[in-house]
Structure formats: structure tokens, C-alpha cells
A and B are shown apart, each in its own frame.
Chain A
Amino acid sequence: MSLSNLIIKTRMKKIYILIGVASILFSCNKLDEKPASVIVKEQFFKTQGDAVAGVTAVYGELVSDGTEQPLYGREINFLTDMTTDDLSAGPSAINPNVRALSSVTYTATNDRVQVLWRQLYTGISRANVAIDQIPAMSFDETVRKRLVLEAKFLRALFYFDLVRLWGDVPLVLHDPTSTDLNSLKTNRSPAADVYKQIIADLNDAKNLPASYSGADIGRATGGAAKALLLKVYLTQKDWTNAVAKAKEIINGPYGYGLVANYGDLFNKATKNGKEHIFSAQFDSNGGLGNTSTLMGAAFTGFGVSVPADIPADSSVYKQFSANDTRRAVTFYTSLTNPSTGVVKVYPSFYFGKYVDRTVLLTSNQSGINFPIIRYADVLLMYSEALNEIGGATTDAYSGINQVRNRANTGDLTPGLSQAAFRDSLYAERRREFVQEAQRWFDLARTGKLVEAVSKVATKTNVSAKNYLFPIPQSEISINAGLTQNPGYTN
């Protein structure tokens, strides 16, 4: 063998070694995906921590949304307040869909209607996952059962909003197992069936703890389940069951009562007091991890522009007498700029419950809770149910008078007829719950929607069809099996 041959052979060897090494080093890049910074569903629901986090996410839907204003952070108010005689769209509401809700000219393509529908079903889906997955897990039984019941409470809350706003709705109780489109379609179930599910879930959730301590405060309680059940019965005009539920709450081991100062309900420092039964919990948290934007857009700071949410007309303000302590909490007419100390006086009155005076320049950091159901509501519902059964009895008076006295408006005129008492009670509810996502539900449930809303000059388009919202057009486009509510065209 010649030298050059040898050299070539040696080089050949080197090349083969190079190729060999290269292929060992690189040839087997694995193609399976193992994400390092995101959790995949299959890896989840293994530990108690996972289960707790899964249920926390159901609560999370109340206060956060990746792209839109969160469910109880303003979204629900578009449908339950913007469409009523309480609220209208201000000049800085740049979304025509919001304007359409304000003028009660919304259609099935209204994006706010679709967003609320999505948010409620997102919450239901997360609850479904928790209810399906957690019972099969093995960890502390008390916590495990509690978590499932919390998820059931929240599922009932979401379905209760759905069934009241849209009537018959798809009743989905499990997470999809495939992406095949046909398997993802669900048609509308009769409202009665939805209510049956709500009542079943709430009857289970009744067994939740009566109260929590520390960082568990804010979770759903047995009392919250009963209070929601009370509202379900009231909505169904099941007065007897409503009264029974109200009594259980009032006399139960929950320690509920009215806070002395109405303003404490909308104050970060005094949140979750004895009047709180169930609230969407918001916090500013110094900017750390706060994904909620409670009413952020409702207050736009100290510029010259008018907030996006303004009173529908002066009628809502005129409901309040001068000595009503709720008026100054419900409305503001001036604010102090914390950075300059300059007091800004506004040309009109604006809604003030959720304006957190401690973070005025970063209003999306408001730490004020949104009450979903509070004790004053239970008292007023109790009075209402009693009045519907047997007229304005002493017991009926006791509920509403507690609420009125806290507001410094004195006892209701004694001896009212059933009808007069009913009207007083409705008026009281309006004053008590401005911007608390109650107005539309109350008007719809009492059949007074058209009568009340049409009194506002810009809302005369309201008609009987508005007792239900249209099923979002996008849902019908995907699933032709969904029918539209009467009065709305596809």
C-alpha cells in the first residue's frame, strides 16, 4: 500500500468517524413534544394542588378574561344594566355593539352578547372538568368533596345566568373528548331541564362549609348555595320554597347581617364583611398577577372625556332621596387626582361603586369586590316572597325595613296593599343594587322590562322580544340545530 493510499485511507476513516459522530450526535432529534413552560392537560389533575388549581380557574372566570372585559368585571353589566333604565353608553364607548345594547337595538350578531355567552360556558367547562376529574383522585377526602361542591355551585351560578338571559340553552355537563365538529354540537335544552340541573347542583353545594378562614375566604359556602337557590325559587315564582330557603339563611349558622355603612360594601379595606354572601373577588395586588379589570373602563381618569358608562337618564339618580346614604356611594360628582391633589368636578354624576379611590390612575387595578349575592338581597327576596304568599305582613316588612334603615331612609309606610308593597319593594331593589347586575334580571322576572325601559327616551325600541337575548349568531352558524329566540332574525 502506497503512502498516499494510506493517507487517503486514514482520511477516509476520519470522514467516516466524523459522519458517525455526527449521526450519533444529531440523528435522533425526538419529535414528540414535551413543553417546558406550559402544562399539558394530560399531566394535570394528579395531585391535590392540581385539583385546587383546577377549581381556582373556575373562580378565575368570574374576574378575568384574556381578551375581553371579564364576566363580573363589566361584561355582564352590558346585558343586565346597559339595556335597562339605569345605564347608558357614554361618549367614550367606542364599540357600536355597546351602543346597540344601550339603545336596545342589539341583534344576534352583537359581540357583547356573544362574549358573555362564551364566558359563562367557559366557566361551565372548567367546572365540568373539575366535577369529572376530582372525585377519582385520591387525597384528603374533605378537601376533595369540598372542591367538587364548589365547582357545582359555580356551574349552577353560570347556568342560572344563562337560563335567565337566553331561556333554553345547551346543557353541557362534560368536557369534549374529541375535536370532531359533530360531537361538539349541543342543541338547546328546555329551561326547565336547565333549572333542574341548577337546583340539583345547588342542593349538593348546600353541604359546603358555612364559612372559611384566611386565604379561603371568598370560596362558595353552604349559605351562598342556599342564597342562590332562594333566588332560583324566586325567579321561578316558587314562593314557598323561597321563603323556606330565606329562613334557613337568616336563621342558619352563617352569621350574615347588614353592614352598618353601605359604603363599606364597596371599599377594599372592608370587603367580605358580614353582608357578603358570594362576591367576585377583585384585588389590585400592587400590579402583581392581577388579571382582573373590574369596571376599569367605566372610569377613564381625569381627562376631559366622559366615562363609557353613564346613567341612562336622570331618573335613576332621582330615585334617591337626599338623606339616602346610598346616593353618595352609588354616584360621584367630583374626584381628587391623587398625583396633583386637584379636585376634578364633573358636569354630571357618574357611577361610583367600583371606583377604587386608592388606585385612581390605574383604574384597572380596582380592589373592590363585585357582590353577586349579598344579605340585603336575601332580606328583600324574603320580603318579596312573603308578600306574594300572604301580602305585606310584619315579617315581610321586617326584611325591607332593615335595608331601608341601613340606608337612612326610615321604615316603609306601614299597611301597604300587596301591590303597593310589591312596587315599593321593586323600587327599593333598584336603589339598593345599582350596577350590581340585578336590574335587568329583576325587570325580566317581574315582567316590567318594556314598561320601565321604554320610559328612557333613547331606549324606546324595547319590546317583548327583549325578555330574552338572541342566541349568538356565530353559534347558530356552526350548529344549525340551535333555534333562535322569537323576534330575532338569523
Chain B
Amino acid sequence: MEIYLHANFLYPSRSYKVFKQAVILLLILIPFASFSQTSSPSVINSKLYGKVVDATNKQPIPGVVVRIKGTTHAVATNSDGEFNFVTGQKFPYTLLVSFIGYDKVELTVNGSPVQIELKPAVNQLTDVVVVGYGTQKKSDITGAISSVPKENLNQVSSSVDNLLRGSAPGVNVTQSSGQPGASASIRIRGGNSITGGNEPLYVIDGFPVYNDNASVATGSGSGAGVNALSTINPSDIESIEILKDASATAIYGSRGANGVILISTKKGRRGTSDVSYGAYYGQQRITKTLPLLDATQWANLRNDILAGTGQPPSFTADQIAALGKGSDWQSAAFRHAPVQNHELSFTGGDERSRFGLSGNYFSQDGIVLNTNFKRYSIRANYERDISSKFKIGLNSTTSYSTTTGAATNTGSASLSSPNLITNIITTSPVVPIKDQNGNYNLVNPYTSVPSNPINDLLSVINKTNINRSLGNFYGEYTLLPGLKAKVSLGADLLSTKQNYFAGPNTANGYAVVGIASVGNATVNTWLNENTLTYDKIIDNKHFINILAGYTTQKSNGEAATAGSKNFVSSATTYNSLQSGSQTSTPTSSAYSWALNSYLARINYSYLHKYNFTVSGRADGSSRFGAGNKWGYFPSAGFSWNAVEEDFIKNIKSISAFKVRLSAGETGNQEIGQYQSLATLSPVNYDFNSVLITGFAANRLSNPNLKWEKTKQYDVGIDLGLLDNRINLTVDAYYKKTNDLLLSIPIPLSTGYSTSLQNIGSVQNKGLELGINTENISGGAFTWKTSLVYALNRNKVLNLGATQTSFFPAVPNGTLGILQPVNIKVGLPLGTFWGYKTAGIFQSAAEITNSPTLDTKANTKPGDRKYVDTNNDGLITAADKTNLGSSQPKFTGSFINNFSYRHVDLLVFFQGSYGNKIYNALRQQLEITNLSTNASASVADRWTPTNPTNDVARATNSPVAQMSDRYIENGSYLRLKKVVLGYTFNGSLLNKIRAKQLRIYVSAQNLATITKYKGYDPEVNSFEQNNTSQGIDFGAYPNYKTFLVGLNVTF
């Protein structure tokens, strides 16, 4: 049978002929047909014309096949969604209208004109999804794109990055700390880069934002970094799409290599008008505390250490007996902290315009005293059809957020303390927290300055205030049928103020009689995008979509800090620097970068069965060498909707089946600014106590500096079974990043240490699996499950001709010396490197007969024993070996949604397997000394009468060695979230005139199964730092949350 298409009208003579044939066919067929119109009289030419539109946005839908039921006569809509029948049928008759991505419609018509509204199908495989610079039917997509499930978007979360957790295969979210407002580190399909950024690109309503936490750091704050993305209210988000393979991300060219996260915010809908209010309130508490020595145990330890150096004990037996448990500094520092959120939104629209307005207040207190995060944000989205051809719109969000963080404290411990958390837990338990009068006790005989970490927490001001306005407006004009021009202008205005004050009673302020500093930073980014899109359907077989565009983006950053010390009064804190009698060196800086881009994409689909995408982007970036400003990033993708093939169509159980293939090249420009230039930095010298400023070059210029390029290949299968009750997506990929932007070591005899060059390569290969099932549906009880699984294997392939491995700098003095991480060809990034341990030396004879790290004379029974891995009879740096990697072998999440009548329940498990964590905090706590507290395990230390093989003897500050003792299994399985909700029924809703009302209770981080000994296995002390992932050095601990909330819509 033939279907005669719209093109007939272009060829009148031919269409007449076709028409005649159709009539004849119908005449033959009608007697055999058994539908209701059998009683109709013989052939009468009737005419029917009409239009097919989308039920939600009333936009015409081209290419829809409209068929008269019971016949083979069908036509397709033109580009304006219109169709025409000239038929032998007599009114009334039934039309069958179907189109991919929409529910089928069957309706009886009685005459012209007829408007047919198609409702978008609620089906993962047929949804329209947001792609770079446009939207596309999911059926036509060739790339690997994951949509964050609606259920996840509706969850309570403090920031966008946390919504991504467990939501899509291949997206690995690691929370860096539990500090409110702190960042997470996100890796899509593993890390590509060693020196450059590895965070994905966020595109918020079309505006590309690289989430660089450094952009909100002025240098005046201290402690954990502040998350630039925390300025966006997560409840404003309508959808999140994660673009993973090159076919999807190459349109973002030089910023696509780490994946792209497309965020669309909520807009109104036609014909509705909603007012919604949502709120929740909760309590957070620490998941666990670390076991430490109590006062009695610590006094014994101190006596032991002194005895080892031949000194008299500092505590008598009577004194020790009187000490008891002593002070519990952890309990004093941690608290039950409230979190609350309120938001009010108005959405709606009429025939010509749609709007969404919302306001949000979010307040989270941290589980550590005097830490918190607050956000105030408003959003306005507006879109209007000025005419049928001209549309304008605006997306904007403005927010103010303020973070009070736990400040870094450097004053009290003799070993270098990374932050206040370590100060708290290493403060000696024999020191009282408060004195007899109830004031904080500032006398600590074991520190050089009088101070108290709890008092420091409460009195040090460490605040970051961020204002962010992110918005764009656009106009879209239909120049010719199918040809649209869109111009958009956007701005991201980010301004940060950081305030710090440590009074004279604090560790940092003591010696300088109070220290204050303030910092300002602004980063203003401008964007202009001009795109042309052309949609064309030929013969209702060929669906063509062409995109071409030019975009240009510029960013200017400025920062300044000032500070002073020596305050007569602490009353003015950081607000009156002139009151300090000594000034600190002020700083200021500025930078700018620009990116000009040409982009193009062709989507071609044949019958929605064979789909092709070819895209390309040319990016010109200011960040690169004079000779390599421009980079070119092509991609190609193909997908085959096999389910449209007859041989699969007939298999009832298969409802969707698609195979995807893609390849392409993307880039990474995140290397900061001015890296290709030989910049000079100030090097000062005091001539006879007069400070003179000098300048010296700190690197060689490299005019050849260019992009990191990542080639990626992806093969994927989307399978829907049993009427899409089971949806399965599998992707396998291979990524190879070449021309790594690597600071390679050059001979030091040149006067320079490194040169940033395009050298080396890294590969990532992996497998991703996503399964969504409707286990039970149709009845009062429903059960849906979603399972996400991803494995990624990362490997350094090449580090240039000069080296096969290097130890990247770890941003901490103590760890910098230990060099815990080795980047080595053949091993994954984040490989920990150190000695293997073999227990404890038990006797002098054992020392004589074994290789020792220190000299034999310095090695005593009770010292740790290391393994001579290269069997040369010596323990040297050459015996250090691979201790495992911070990269997980696989990650997964398992989400169950249950509902019974009005009750819904969500149970969300998340896990990671095979990753190692370097527990540097535990190492610190086992370095026994005379001034700081130690792990409870030290109570069971080696002594001649306690020949343990676990904890070494007590000595004063034994040299720290990087060893497998502190490399711990970071695998965990966590009940991340449980949400129980109740949606009220009609009668109550009518009473309060609400459209919808739901209340819920929720718990987060309820239970965790892990062998990790630190506070929490989700930890990253060095946040976004590529090469120092998986290190726990006193990060702000994670917490569990219990909350109640309600959502109501009027």
C-alpha cells in the first residue's frame, strides 16, 4: 500500500493521477472494510482541511501523518502543520493521527476546518530534549544524552550539583565537604585533564558557565571554597540534560571535553496560571565522630614520649587518676543544625505569552558551630509571541548568598594544621574547654599562643557574600518558512565580598593583636549568540534541521584585597581597617578572556528511522598562544531506530530499540589566563630595611600553546521493552585526550622549573548502564525503579619525552613533602604512591636482619617496618609503590519510587566501589607528640609489654611517611535519601481551593555501609583540584538530615 504525501500538491497533474488511483483503491477496499461507515452511499468526493498542533505550546507540527481510519489514505502535514484531504469518504469519519513523540489521537470529523491537538507522549524515548542551541526529539538523537529524572529534580537539595548525584550513568559527584554552600567535584566519564579544569560546562538557559570556584575567591576568606553554583536555586530547575559524548558536546567546542550540563529553568504554560508555595524544615547532625584519646590516655602517652627521650614525666599517677575523660572537643564543636527553605512561584501564560516568577529563601546552618549558608534569589522568565513570526523572551535570576565558613586556623598546633577541624580534634583533652567562670579557657600550655579552637570558631568572622545576576534575553524571528533567526544577549554578573576578622583572643589574631581583611572580586561575563535554524521536511521522509551560528563571549575579572592588624578594639571587626595600626600588603588583580565561535550542525533524519548529526565548532580563544588561537571541533553521530523496522515492529515485547554511534573531537580551554606569555612577578628585596620591588619572569613564553583535544567514540543502545515498562540504555565509550596542557619539567639550569606545553595523553574508557522499570503499574499501587551503573577506566598514556611520572604539588605543606600522589604512565590519575608496611619491629634482632628506612642506629623496636619492594636490601624512595587510586572501579545508584493511592515513597541508594581514600587526618592523629591529641588507637600502641603489630611506639613527632597504612578502602553503599510523601485528595483541596497539596518527610544520608575510618567516605579536601582527589585532610564532615516539607499549588 502506498501513502501519498503532501508533495502531491506541488504536482497537480500527478496528484490528479494519484488521486484517481486512490479513489479506485478505496472503491475496491470499501466493501471489504468492516467499519461503521459501511452504510454510507457510494463515492462522494469530500474535502477536509485542518491543522495539527502541539497541545502544550500550540505550535504547528509538521510531518504528522493523518490517516482515515479503516483506509490506507493518509496525508502528512506541511511545515505550518496543515493538511488537506480530498477523499471519497463521506463525513463523518474517523481520523487516526500519530506522530513520534506524541500520543496517538483518534477523532471523528464532521467537516472542515479541524484542529487536532497532539499531547506529547510521556515516554523517555520519544521526549523532546534540550540539546546545545536547540531542542531535538529524543528519537532523532544520535548522541549520549542523559536526562535527570523528574523525581530527582523534585528532591530537596542545596545546590544544582547535588541534584546530579546518582541521576545519570557516567556522572560522578563527590561532595568535597559538609560545609554549607561548599562545592562538589563532578566528573563526567572520568577526568581528561591533568593540569587543566575537569569540571563540566554548565549551560543555564543557554548561558555557558564554567563553575570555577576560584572566581568567587578573593584571597581574604579562608577555609573551604565557596561553590559558585550554589547561587542558583535548585527548585527553579525544570530539566537537566547531561551531554556526554562528542556528538552532543562538540557544539560546545573548546569547552565540551568534560561534558556539558544543560539546565533549563521553569517557564509558564499556556492557558494556566499557578501559584505554588513550597517549604521544608530540617535538622542535620554529624554522621559519626572520630575516636580520640581521652585525658587519662593522653597524659599517659605524654609521659611515655617524655620517658623515651629520657625526660621526667609531666603527670604524676595521682594527677592522671584525677583527669578522667577530660574535654571532648568534637562534641563542643559539632551541633544539631537546622535547615530551611521557602519558595513562592507564579507561572502561567495565555495564547501569546508565558511567564515564570519565583522567589526563594534558603538557610542552612552547618553542623560545626557558627557556620552557615543563606541564599535569597528571585527568578523571572518571560516569553511572548509578538506575532506568529516574532518571539521574544527573557530568562533572569538574581541571587544574594552568604556563607560563614570554618576558618583556617594556623596558630596552635606545631604540626602544620590544614584547617580548624584538625585544630579542634587535635587539641589536648586535658585542656578544659571553659574555665570556672564559664568563659572559654584560653590557656593551653601546649600551644605557643593562648587560644581555644571553640572560641575561635565562635569569634572568628569568615564570611563570603556573593551577588549573582545571570540572565539573557532573546528575539527569534521566522524569516522564511522553516528559517528562524535568533539573537540573544546575556550577562553573568558575579560579585563577591569576603570578610575576615580574627580578634586578639584567637590563634590567628593573638600575635598581631587582631587581624582583619576584606576582599572584593567581580567577574562579569557577556555573551552574544546569533543563530539561524532551518527546518525542512522533504517528501515527509527527509527531516532536516540545520543550525548555523556565531557567538562571542567575553569575561572580565577584577579582585582586590586589603587588610590590617593590631586593633585597639575588636568592636569594628573588618569594617574599619583604618583602625588597625599596621596594614597588610594590599593586592589587586584583573584579567579578561574572550571566546569567538562559529558553530554549525546538521540533523538529518530519514523517516525518524535513520538519523544523522554532523556538527562543528570553530573556537577562537584569547587564552592560547599567538599562533594557535583557533581550534576546530567536529563530530558526527548516527542512530538507527530499529524499532521502526518491520522485523522488530512485529516483536510485541520490544517497544523501543535504538542504536547510536558517534565520534568527535572536543577541547578544553580551562588553563586560566595568560599562560602562553612570559609574565613577570614581583620579587622584592630589602636594601638596608627599605623594601624595593623587583620583577622577574616566572616562566618562558610559549606562543605555540593550544587546546587540549579529546577524541571520543561512543556506541549506545536504547531499548524499551513491554510497552516501555522497561527502558534500558547502555553506552560504551572511549576517550583519548591529546596535547594535554601539561606543565612539563624543564632543566632547572635554565632558571625555570616548568613550561606549559601540549604534551602527553590520557585515556578514559567506560561502560554506562541505565535501567528504568515500571515494576508494578496500572493499579493503586505502583512501583518504579531506576538503576544507574557506570564504570570508567582512566589511564595516563604519555607524559612527554622527558618523564614517565611526576608527583604533582599537593596544596598543603605537610602533604606537599609526603608527595602522596604519583601521575605515572600506565596508571590512572589519582594514584597514591608510598611504602608498603609490614607491621612493627618487635626486636633489635629483627631490625638487624631487616632493611630499615632510617639508619639502623635510629631504628628501635616499636618502629614501623616497611617492605623492601625491589629487594635491594635497602628501604629507599625506590621502594615506594602503587597503593591504589582515588578513582572508583564503578559507581551506581538505585532509586525506587513506590506509590499507593495518595502515598508516595522514594528510596535512593548510592554507592561507589573500589576507590581509595588517603586518610591524611588519621595519619596526623597517629603522629604522636607532646602537644596534640591522637587517635584512640594510639592507646594500644606498641610497648615492650604490648607487642602489637598495629600502632608504633610513642615518640615525639615521628617522621611522616606515605604508606599503605593510611590508604583506605573508600567503597561505600549509602541510603542517600528516603522520602515519604502524601498528596491530599479532592475534598480538602476544594476547601482550600488548591490544585495540589503534598506533604513529605525526608531523610538524607540515613545509613552508610563503609570500611572507611574517617568521618565520611564522600570527601575531597582539595575540592576541584584535579590531581589531589580522594584526600581527606580534615575536611568539614558530612552530615545526615531529617526534614519535613510541603508543596501547595493554587
B959 and A291 form a contact (CB under 8 A): no
* Cα–Cα distance between A146 and B803 once the two chains are bound (Å): 42
- Distance, CA A33 to CA B629, complexed state (A): 10
- The smallest beta-carbon distance between B976 and chain A, in angstroms, is 38
Q: Evaluate whether A40 and B450 lie within 8 angstroms (CB atoms) in the complex, with A125-B751, A339-B511, A477-B803 already known.
A: no
Distance to closest chain B CB from A5 (angstroms): 12
* A94 touching B814, Cβ below 8 Å: yes
Question: Among the listed stretches A227-235, A236-244, A300-308, which one makes contact with chain B, having 4 or more residues with CB under 8 Å of it?
Answer: A300-308
Residues of A within 8 A of B749 (CB): 121, 169-170, 172, 186, 475
Partner of B489, one of A22, A31, A92: A22
A22 touches B528 (CB 8 A): yes
In the complex, what's the smallest C-beta–C-beta distance from A154 to chain B, in angstroms? Answer: 11
> Are B622 and A281 within 8 A (Cβ)?
no
Residue of A nearest to B955 (CB): A91
Give every chain B residue within 8 A of A216 (Cβ-Cβ). Answer: 687-688
The closest CB in chain B to the CB of A288 belongs to: B585
A29–B552 touching, CB < 8 Å = yes
Q: Are B694 and A55 in contact (CB under 8 A)?
A: yes
Determine whether the beta carbon of A305 is less than 8 Å from that of B959: no
Contact status A283-B689, CB under 8 Å: yes
Known: A214-B688, A303-B446. A40 touches B748 (CB 8 A): no
Chain B residues close to A by CB (< 8 Å): 311, 386-387, 389-390, 414-415, 445-450, 475, 477, 479, 485, 487, 489, 510-512, 526, 528, 530, 550, 552-554, 565, 582-585, 588-592, 594-596, 620-623, 626, 629, 673-674, 676-681, 683-697, 700-702, 704, 744-753, 755, 757, 801-803, 809, 814, 817, 853-855, 857-858, 876-877, 929-931, 955-957, 959-961
Evaluate contact between B446 and A31: CB separation under 8 angstroms. Answer: no
- Chain A residues near B676 (CB, 8 Å)? 33
Docked pose: A125 CA to B585 CA in angstroms: 28
Question: For residue A34, which residue of chain B has the nearest CB?
Answer: B592
Nearest-neighbour CB distance to chain B for A158, whole angstroms, equals: 10
Contact B801 A8 (CB under 8 A): no
Q: Which of B590, B678, B746 contacts A478 (CB 8 A)?
A: B746
User: Which residues of A are interface residues toward B (Cβ below 8 A)?
Assistant: 7-8, 11-12, 15, 18-19, 22-23, 25-27, 29-33, 35-42, 44, 50, 52-64, 67, 91-97, 99, 103, 105, 107, 109, 111, 114, 117-118, 121-122, 124-126, 128-129, 169-170, 172, 175-176, 179, 181, 184-186, 214-219, 268, 271-272, 281-283, 285-292, 300-306, 337, 339-340, 347, 361-362, 367, 457-458, 460-461, 472, 474-475, 477-479
How distant is the Cα of A408 from the Cα of B410 in the complex, in angstroms? 43
Among candidates A30, A109, A306, residue contacting B956 with C-beta atoms closer than 8 Å: A306
- Within 8 Å CB of A94, what residues of B? 415, 814, 817, 957, 959-960
B620–A170 touching, CB < 8 Å: no
Tell which of B414, B679, B857 touches A41, judged by Cβ atoms closer than 8 Å.
B679
The 22 sampled A-B contact pairs (Cβ below 8 Å) are A11-B389, A19-B530, A26-B489, A27-B596, A32-B626, A36-B592, A37-B589, A42-B678, A58-B696, A61-B683, A96-B959, A121-B751, A185-B747, A186-B749, A215-B688, A218-B688, A281-B688, A288-B691, A289-B585, A305-B929, A361-B448, A474-B748
| Cα A304 to Cα B415 with chains together (Å) | 11
Partner of A38 from B680, B701, B931 at Cβ < 8 Å: B680
Bound CA span A223–B696, Å: 27
The residues of B that contact A121 with a CB separation of less than 8 Å are 748-751
Are B510 and A41 closer than 8 Å at their CB atoms?
no
Within the complex, what minimum Cβ distance (angstroms) separates B527 from chain A?
Answer: 8
B414 x A64 contact (CB < 8 A): no
A217 to B745, CA, bound (A): 37
Known: A103-B855, A287-B565. A475 touches B747 (CB 8 A): yes
CA distance A37 to B475 in the complex (A): 37
Residues of A within 8 A of B390 (CB): 11, 15
Contact of A124 with B683 at beta-carbon distance under 8 Å, contacts A218-B688, A461-B855 already known: no
How distant is the Cα of A125 from the Cα of B929 in the complex, in angstroms?
42
**Assuming A35-B591, A128-B751, A283-B691, is B528 touching A26 (CB within 8 A)?**
yes
Contacts between chains A and B (CB distance < 8 A), count: 329
Nearest chain B CB to A259 CB, angstrom units: 16
- Asked if B687 and A172 make an inter-chain contact with CB atoms under 8 angstroms apart, the answer reads no
What is the CB-to-nearest-CB distance from A356 to chain B, in angstroms, rounded to a whole number? 13
Among A64, A175, A339, point to the contact of B449 (Cβ < 8 A).
A339
Chain B residues lying within 8 Å of A367, measured Cβ to Cβ, are 689
Verify B683–A291 contact, CB threshold 8 A.
yes
Q: Which of A25, A29, A268 interacts with B553 by CB under 8 Å?
A: A29
Decide if B596 touches A29 in the complex (CB within 8 Å).
yes
Q: Which residues of A contact B957 (CB under 8 A)?
A: 91-92, 94, 305
Separation of A39 and B696 alpha carbons in the complex (Å):
10
The 6 closest A-B pairs by CB, nearest first: A125-B751, A56-B694, A301-B448, A361-B511, A60-B683, A57-B694
Q: Are B746 and A35 in contact (CB under 8 A)?
A: no
**Distance in Å: Cβ of B303 to nearest Cβ of chain A:** 13
In the complex, what residues of B have CB within 8 A of residue A19's CB? 485, 487, 530
Q: Determine whether the beta carbon of A64 is less than 8 Å from that of B683.
A: yes
Q: Which of B692, B814, B929 contacts A56 (CB 8 A)?
A: B692
Taking a contact as CB atoms closer than 8 A, the residue among B595, B596, B746, B877 that contacts A181 in the complex is B746
A458 to B626, CA, bound (A): 56
Residues A172 and B750 in contact in the complex (CB < 8 Å), given A37-B588, A41-B701, A339-B449: yes
Give chain A residues whose Cβ lies under 8 Å from the Cβ of B583: 288
Query: Using Cβ atoms and an 8 Å threshold, which residues of chain B touch A458?
Result: 855, 857-858
On whether the beta carbons of A12 and B477 are closer than 8 Å, the reply is yes
Contact: B702 with A186, CB < 8 Å? Answer: no
Closest to A285 in B: B691
Distance in Å: Cβ of A460 to nearest Cβ of chain B: 8
Question: Are the CB atoms of B552 and A59 closer together than 8 Å?
Answer: no
Cβ of A478 and Cβ of B802 under 8 Å apart? yes
For the complex, what is the distance from the CA of A92 to the CA of B594, rounded to whole Å?
48
Q: Given the complex of chains A and B, what is the CA–CA distance between A27 and B528 in angstroms?
A: 8
Q: In the bound complex, what is the Cα–Cα distance between A175 and B487 (angstroms)?
A: 50
**Given the interface contacts A26-B526, A282-B686, A287-B582, does A57 sit within 8 Å of B748 by beta carbon?**
no
Contacts of B694 on A, CB cut-off 8 Å? 52-60
Partner of B747, one of A96, A186, A272: A186
**Cα-based distance from A230 to B414 in the complex (angstroms):** 43
- Measured in the bound complex, the distance between the Cα atoms of B299 and A126 in whole Å is 53
> Which A residue sits closest to B679, measured CB to CB?
A38
A103 in contact with B858 (CB, 8 Å)? yes
Known: A36-B590, A91-B957, A303-B446. A25 touches B687 (CB 8 A): no
Q: How far is the CB of A118 from chain B (nearest CB, A)?
A: 4
Q: Are A40 and B528 in contact (CB under 8 A)?
A: no
CA distance A271 to B686 in the complex (A): 12
Q: Are A129 and B389 in contact (CB under 8 A)?
A: no
> Once bound together, how far apart are the Cα atoms of A300 and B449, in whole Å?
11
Contact residues in A for B311 (Cβ distance below 8 Å): 347
User: How far is the CB of A94 from the nearest CB of chain B, in Å?
Assistant: 6
What residues of B have a CB within 8 angstroms of the CB of A340 in the complex?
450
Contacts of B753 in A (CB 8 A): 118
Among B629, B681, B700, B814, which residue has the most Cβ atoms of chain A within 10 A? B700
Contact check, B594 vs A179: say whether CB atoms are below 8 A apart.
no
Cα A287 to Cα B566 in complex, Å, equals 12
Q: Give bound CA distance, A474 to B959, whole Å.
A: 24
A104 to B690, CA, bound (A): 39
A474: which of B680, B700, B745, B956 is its contact (CB, 8 Å)?
A: B745
Contact of B622 with A33 in the complex, beta carbons under 8 Å: yes
Q: Provide the bound-state CA to CA distance between A443 and B548, in Å.
A: 75
B931/A303 in contact, CB under 8 A: yes
Chain A residues closer than 8 Å to B858, beta-carbon distance: 103, 458
Once the chains bind, are A272 and B695 in contact (CB under 8 Å)? no
Note all chain A residues with C-beta closer than 8 A to B683.
Answer: 56-57, 60-61, 64, 126, 291
| Docked pose: A67 CA to B753 CA in angstroms | 12
Closest to B588 in A: A37
19 more contacts with CB within 8 A, not counting A11-B477, A18-B487, A179-B701, are A11-B390, A19-B530, A33-B673, A52-B694, A55-B694, A56-B683, A56-B685, A56-B694, A60-B694, A96-B960, A215-B690, A271-B688, A283-B686, A283-B689, A287-B565, A292-B686, A304-B930, A458-B855, A475-B748
